[in-house]
Amino acid sequence: MSSTKVGCHVSIQGGVENAPKLARELCCEVMQIFSRPPQGGTGQELTEAVIEKFKGECKKYKIESVYIHAPYYINLASIDNKIRYGSIGAIRTELERASLLGAKYVMTHLGSAKETENSEAIKKVMDGLEKILDGYNGSAKLLIENSAGAGKIIGADIREIEDILNKLKKFPALAGVCLDTQHGFASGYDWESGINFENIKLIHANDSATNLGSRKDRHEHIGKGKIGMNGFTQIAAFAKKQEIDLVCETDYPEVMEDIKILKKLIKN
């Protein structure tokens, strides 16, 4: 039996402790959540009672791993210090919350260069990551998610992410890449060119509603987009070989069919 597990992003409406039951109802083996509102805000207080209930529910409903997505507003490359330092604080907080909940990884986008040159933006990103990880000793680790490439987004090219990882090797909590299949497709990236596959720790399994190289972030259900079933047959085989979990970020309730398809592909 493959150690690769399949799940999706799950709502935390009513509290994180409700997510494992919903995940099981969606036929998840693993799940991804936000630990607090993705647009901003402090979110639910993780009391000892909440943490105990959450972990107990994960065990009860056989959710083998939990992944946490950082808020949407993250921009470590911003020239606005309020945004930049707010992003640094938010990711560090997510790592600490993830550790309390027993989550395996936190994944984040890096942000956009916007007004600055790319090289200067990457310096800001690396400085931000160092500030996030300095002194951090929690159990949850950080993954950098590749982007679809719209605008001057940092991390559309996975080689750019790998360069950042290589330069920050002194921080073991920076564990690798969360590969979003739709973002990779939309950025026009050749996954077989120069990628260190060992760095890929999680896959966001999303088909693409837009064409190769479109640079648009538009998720589609598995097999119904431009990547197609042939593409996902290869993606599932890769995930199985590398023992990487697959997490869908597609709409309810059709996401249940996406999970079913991926499980079937993993078994083949």
Give the closest residue to 111 by CA, choosing from 161, 163, 181: 161
The predicted pLDDT at position 115 comes to 72
State if pTM tops 0.75.
yes
Work out the average pLDDT over 213-222.
83
Work out the average pLDDT over 34-58.
93
Q: What is the DSSP string of 30-65?
A: EEEE-SS-TTS-------HHHHHHHHHHHHHTT---
CATH class given for the domain over 6-267: alpha beta
When the pLDDT of each residue in the chain is averaged and rounded to a whole number, the result is 92
Work out the average pLDDT over 159-165.
90
The predicted pLDDT at position 95 comes to 98
Work out the average pLDDT over 46-75.
97
Q: DSSP alpha helices (H): ranges in 134-254? A: 158-167, 181-186, 228-242
- pLDDT tens-place string over residues 183-199: 887 887 666 566 788 99
Strands 207-208 and 219-220: antiparallel
Q: Taking the CA atoms of the chain, what radius of gyration do you get in angstroms?
A: 18
The predicted pLDDT at position 147 comes to 83
